Amino acid sequence: MVFLQLEINEKNQGVHAFICQIRDADGLIMSESQGEFIEFNC
């Protein structure tokens, strides 16, 4: 679970929790080609 400060159209929407798969079935950290990633502007 990742906690992020969500901002939409330059308006603060507060902190939200997102569930993200970061490990594969073998317990290894997934590469970008294995998972679906969302681009964030940090």
Domain total of the chain: 1
Return d(Cα 7, Cα 38) in angstroms, integer: 14
- The answer to whether position 6 is within a domain reads yes
Q: Where are the alpha helices (DSSP H) in 1-42?
A: none
pLDDT confidence of residue 22? 78
The predicted model scores a pTM of 0.44
- The answer to whether position 11 is within a domain reads yes
pLDDT confidence of residue 18? 84
Return d(Cα 14, Cα 41) in angstroms, integer: 15
Q: Report the candidate in 3, 1, 32 with the shortest Cα–Cα distance to residue 15.
A: 3
Average pLDDT along the chain, 42 residues, taken 10 residues at a time: 86 89 83 55 50
pLDDT confidence of residue 32? 61
Q: Where are the beta strands (DSSP E) in 1-42?
A: 2-8, 11-18
> Bridge-partner residues for 17, per DSSP?
3
Q: What distance lies between CA 30 and its chain's CA centroid?
A: 13
* Domain enclosing residue 22, as ranges: 1-36
